[in-house]
Structure formats: C-alpha cells, structure tokens
Chains A and B, each alone.
Chain A
Amino acid sequence: MSEIVLEVRNIIAGYVPDLPILREVSIMVKSGSVNVVIGPNGAGKSTLIKAIVGLVPVSEGSIFLRGQEIDIVKPHLIAKHGISYVPQSDNIFRTLTVRQNLELALRNSGKNADLRLSELLEQFPILCDKLKEKAGALSGGQRQFLAVAMAISTDPDIILMDEPSAGLAPKAAQGILELLRDLTSSGVSILLVEQNVNQALRLADYCYILAEGRNQVDGKASKLLNDPIVGEIYLGGKRFGAEA
C-alpha cells in the first residue's frame, strides 16, 4: 500500500519574487520509495528541495504532506513535519566534533536522545571511532555518512538530499546511494537530486526530469534508464512546456 508521503503541486518559487526559478513544478513521493530528480544545470533541482523545506520562498502552489496541505514550512520546523534535509555542500558542522554534530541533531529528541544515538552508531559503525574528531577532519565519504546519520536521527518520514554523491569517489558514491536505498526498508521515503544520472537511476524507483524550472518527463527509473529522451533533455533537445 503506497500512500503519497509528499506532493508538490504547481509551485512557483524563487529567491526574488519577480524572478521565479521554478515555474509550476509538481512531483509526488510515494511512501517507501526512492525518487530522484535529474536535469541539466540551472534546472531548479536544488531550488525545488529548498522550496519544500522553506529556504526558498514559494509564491504560488501547494505542498501536501500525507494528504494534508501545509502552509509555508519554517526551516527549523521541518523535523516536526517528518522531513529531513541534507544540503549538497557544507552539510555537517566542521568545527564541532562528530559526537557534537549528532547530539545537536538529536537536540529536540528529548529523552530518546541517548537511545537514538546508540542506534545511529550501530547503523553507522564508521562514525564510532571518530566521535571525538572534528567533523571537518573526516573524509568526504565519512562526512556524507555523518550528514545522513544526522538526517535520520529525527526519524523522518522523508529525506530530501541534494546531490549525495557529489565530490565522492565512485565507490563512496555507490555506498551512499545504497545506504539510502536500504533506508527505505524501514519505511522512509527518499527524494534525491542527482547529477550522477546512471548510478541514481539504477537505485531509484521513480524519476523526475526538470529543465528550465519546469517538469519535462517523469517515469519509472528503470524505464528512463534506457530512454533516449533523457539524453535529449540534457543536451538541450526535446523540451515540453518551454517558453516560446
């Protein structure tokens, strides 16, 4: 039974009110699925994620969580809505230790914090040895693991992640994407932005393609993997709904 965890309907969003980056974009995330958003540079992929968490103003359109329409989300309240967000870069606090990063993420978890921390360390053994080290001293791959650990610490329903494999060696990138895939077994839904199209499409269930701030094509990831239309959009070929 797949309910729709997150739905974005026709949103228009942008940093400056008269210059929208997203023009009527809609996506849907089904529970327990891995969804990936791809598209050429400047398509508005990161902006979409940021708009959902309230970091970019939305001027029109609606966002639904589990069927309920929600008002503008305040970034610091996303955990209450069951959302977690991992930015592309600078997604951990370099000047704090690994432990302090995790404790910070667990700040609002109240009495469960200690329990949750041990659970996270079990899930991410790589971080156990590094607890006292400053997060900035970790390798790229380790930092991404820490970022994901912080994201799942609040038991979210959906994790939004911006280019998880960016700057990582292929093996580490694969590791992160597989980790996200595994998370869905506990019911968490994933929405990713990715540049690494092939790797992402192999691990995803569903895929949306954005270009120039609009929806282009969407479909099952496995189907799109071999569909030439993906390449066309990236190379600036066929486009739907573009400006005349």
Chain B
Amino acid sequence: MIQHLLDGILVGAILSLGAIGLTMVMHILRFANFSHAELLSVGAYAALVFDKIFKVTLPLMASAIGSLSITWALILSILFSMVITGASAVLFDRLIFRRIRENGQELSMVFASFGLALIVRNLIGLIFGLNTKLYTKEIVFATVLSRDPLVVVKLDQVATLFITLILMVLIHFVLSRTTFGYSLRAVGENPELAQVNGINLDKTIMVVWIIGGCLAAVAGVFYGLTNQINPMIGRDLVLPVFAATIVGGIGSVYGALLGGFIVGLASNMALIVLPSGYSPAVPFLIILAVLLIRPNGLFGEERQ
C-alpha cells in the first residue's frame, strides 16, 4: 500500500503540471481543450530529439547526474523542448482556435480540439514510429526503500517530484507576488475589467498558452522518463488530466496542483481493490464522484 501511495504521488506530480495549463485555458477561453494532453506528447518527443542531438554534439553533457539516469543533455533538452512546446501551443491557437473564436463559434472549439488531438497524435506516430522509446538505453535500477513491505522507487521519480515541487513554488510566487501573476488572475476573473485596466487580452492568452505548453513539456518528459515514450501519451493522459482540473475546480491553479496529486493517488490506491485492467476508468469515477459531491471542485467558482 505504501508503494501505491508513493507511485500515486509521483504520477500526481506529472498530472498536476499538465493540469495547470489546462485549467488556465479552460477558464480564460472557456472550452475543454482535448488537445492539451497532446502537448505532453510533443514535449516528450521534442526532448527526445534534442537529447539525441546534444548527446552527439556535446558529448560532455551525456554524462548522467549523480545516480540518476537524467543527463545534463536531457536537462538542456527539456529547456529546448519547453520552447518548442510553448510555441506549438501558440501556433495551434493562432491557426485554429483563435479563428474559430473570432468567427463566434465558441462551442466548436471543443471539436476542433478533438480533431487537433487526432492529427497531432497520429502525426507523431507517423514521424517517430509507433514503437516505444526511452531517453536512456541503460537499465535503470530502482532503489529499495524497504524490503518488507516492499517499497521501491526510482531515483528519477524522486528527482521529477523534486523539480515539480520547485516549479510549483515558483508558480505560487508569480501568482501571489508579481503584477504579472495578478494580471493572469484578473483575466480569469473578469476579462473586460482586466482590459480596461490596461491588460492586453491577446497577449495574456498567448502567455497562458506558452506557460501551459512549457509545463506540459516538463510533464511529458517526466512521464517519458518514468514510464516510456510512445505516441499514445496524450491519449492515455487526457482523461486523468481533465479529472485533475475538475477535482481542483476549473480556473484554479492551486486546485489543479492539488487535483493532480489527488487523481494520481486515487488512481494508484484504487489498484489495491480493482484489477489493474480497470485503471483507465478510475479518473472517470473520480469525475463522477466530484460531480456528485462538490461539482465545482475544491477551489472552483461558478462563473457564467
């Protein structure tokens, strides 16, 4: 059971990062973006490409950090991947979502996101192949924390949790101490008032996409690191990430943070009672539970 707890926290960190970007987009642009989870996929693959490039061109960076399997090259790749993924998110908005918004077809954005998800997911499959990939070919040994009950953890997972927590502290700082953070919250609360107080709505939307993309890239790489990289990352994560935003309350960054951990924990704890084949359905059950008990989630507010 402790193992499940641990796994749940580690998965939860990844879901939290993915959910933050999604919850912001859902709140400000008011549509369920089914293509957000594909950004994690984009991030994971982009980092893979950069990692291979750096390993070849900067062999010094190919050395692992300490006893992790993460190399300096991978760290650098994550940064580059964040740029690519952030840019992709903005590109998708410019090409597709914004045009649909401008045509007044707000509700259609959901479909468009479905279609976009299909395109991105399968293009990745076509370009990179359908087989699974890994960032490192070396065998990664898990560290045994305790023998009885058996609790193991990969150091990589601990590192990802650590980095995630740092990112979250950073995000908290920005939201609660900087005028930029206030402007994001202002746009979420009242876009018109935000504009007349000098906030450029278009620019803010672009920044929200970039932030969402960057966080998704990190989440995607971490997922690829602790599981494997395959084109179905987006498809597998779309429901859990949505569940995290619903648990936390759409529009609340802190809610998304907590929601991710809750979904991760619940999904793993459920494995104690449910056969593992059912785990894809657990996020749905969580959503159902939230709708029954507290439809607006932990920190969500009704906003018409």
CB atoms of A and B under 8 A apart anywhere in the complex? yes
Complexed CA–CA distance, A83 and B304 (Å): 28
A103 touches B192 (CB 8 A): no
Cβ of A107 < 8 Å from any Cβ of B?
yes
Q: Mark B171-210, 1 if CB is under 8 A from A, else 0.
A: 0000000010011011001101111111111000000000
Cβ B196 vs Cβ A104 within 8 A: no
* Cα(A144)–Cα(B264), bound, Å: 44
Taking a contact as CB atoms closer than 8 A, the residue among A85, A94, A108 that contacts B196 in the complex is A85
| 5 pairs of A and B residues whose beta carbons are closest in the complex | A75-B195, A76-B195, A85-B196, A104-B182, A107-B179
Closest Cβ neighbor of A105 among chain B residues: B197
Q: Chain B's nearest CB lies how many Å from the CB of A78?
A: 6
| Contacts A93-B189, A93-B190 given; does A103 touch B196 at CB 8 Å | no
On chain A, the residues within 8 Å of B195 by CB distance are: 55, 75-76
Kindly list chain B residues whose C-beta atoms are within 8 Å of the C-beta of A92: 193
Contact of A93 among B186, B200, B201 (CB under 8 A): B186
Q: Is the CB of A103 within 8 A of B179?
A: yes
Segment 97-118 of A: residues with Cβ below 8 Å from B: 100, 103-105, 107-108
Count of residues in B whose CB is under 8 Å from the partner chain: 17
Closest to A113 in B: B179
- Distance in Å from the Cβ of A127 to the closest Cβ of chain B? 16
Give the docked Cα–Cα distance between A69 and B137 (Å).
67
Residues of B within 8 A of A104 (CB): 179, 182-183, 186, 197, 199
Among residues of A, the one whose C-beta sits closest to the C-beta of B179 is A107
Is residue A180 contacting chain B, with contact meaning CB distance below 8 A?
no
Cβ A96 vs Cβ B198 within 8 A: no
**In whole Å, how far is A41's beta carbon from the nearest beta carbon of chain B?**
21
Residues of A within 8 A of B183 (CB): 104, 107
Besides A55-B195, A104-B199, 20 more A-B contacts (Cβ < 8 Å) are A75-B192, A75-B201, A77-B198, A84-B196, A87-B192, A90-B190, A91-B193, A92-B193, A93-B182, A93-B186, A93-B194, A96-B186, A103-B182, A104-B179, A104-B182, A104-B186, A104-B197, A107-B179, A107-B183, A154-B198
> How far is A226 from B175 in the complex, measured between Cα atoms in Å?
53
A55 CA / B191 CA spacing, docked (Å): 11
CB distance from A165 to the nearest CB of B (A): 19
Q: List 28 A-B contacts (CB under 8 A).
A: A53-B196, A75-B192, A75-B201, A76-B195, A76-B198, A76-B199, A76-B200, A76-B201, A77-B198, A79-B198, A87-B192, A87-B193, A91-B193, A92-B193, A93-B182, A93-B186, A93-B193, A96-B182, A100-B182, A103-B179, A104-B182, A105-B197, A105-B198, A107-B183, A107-B197, A107-B199, A108-B198, A154-B198
Does A150 touch B at the CB level, under 8 Å? yes
In the assembled complex, the CB of B301 is this many whole angstroms from the nearest CB of chain A, namely 8
CA distance A90 to B304 in the complex (A): 13
- Determine whether the beta carbon of A95 is less than 8 Å from that of B198: no
Given A76-B201, A90-B190, A107-B179, is A95 in contact with B196 using a C-beta cutoff of 8 Å?
no
Cβ of A78 and Cβ of B190 under 8 Å apart?
A: no
Asked whether, in the complex, the Cβ of A94 is within 8 Å of the Cβ of B189, the reply is yes
Expressed in whole angstroms, the Cα–Cα distance for A103 and B199 within the complex equals: 13
Which residues on A sit within 8 Å (CB–CB) of B186? 93, 96, 104
Determine the residue in chain B with the shortest Cβ distance to A90: B190
What does the 1/0 interface line of A140-170 toward B look like (CB < 8 Å)? 0000000000100010000000000000000
**A150 lies within 8 A of B189 (CB):** no
Interface-centre pick from A55, A75, A78, A87 (highest chain B CB count, 10 A): A75
Q: How many angstroms between the C-alpha atoms of A77 and B190 in the bound complex?
A: 17
Instruction: Name the A residues within 8 Å of B199 (CB-CB).
Output: 76, 104, 107
**CB closest residue in chain A, given B199:** A76
Shortest Cβ gap from A74 to chain B (Å) = 8
Alpha-carbon distance between A94 and B185 when the two chains are bound, in angstroms: 10
CB-CB < 8 A to A150: which residues of B? 197
Nearest chain A CB to B185's CB is how many angstroms away?
6
How long is the Cα–Cα vector from A108 to B185 in the complex, in angstroms?
Answer: 17
Q: Which of chain A's residues has its CB closest to B197's CB?
A: A105
Residues of B within 8 A of A55 (CB): 192, 195-196
Alpha-carbon separation in the docked complex, A85 to B193 (Å): 9
Name the A residues within 8 Å of B194 (CB-CB): 93
Which chain B positions have C-beta within 8 A of A77? Answer: 198
Give, as a whole number of angstroms, the nearest-CB distance from A147 to chain B: 9
Contacting residues, chain A, for B198 (C-beta < 8 A): 76-77, 79, 105, 107-108, 154
Considering the chains assembled together, what is the distance between the CA atoms of A79 and B199 in angstroms? Answer: 10
Contacts of A105 in B (CB 8 A): 197-198
- What chain A residues lie within 8 Å of B193 (beta carbons)? 87, 90-93
- Taken together as a complex, chains A and B put the C-alpha atoms of A231 and B139 apart, in Å, by 87
Q: Which residues of A contact B201 (CB under 8 A)?
A: 75-76
Q: For B185, what are the chain A residues with a Cβ–Cβ distance below 8 Å? A: 93, 95-96
Inter-chain CA distance A84–B182, complex, in Å, is 19
- Minimum Cβ distance to chain A for residue B102 (Å): 13
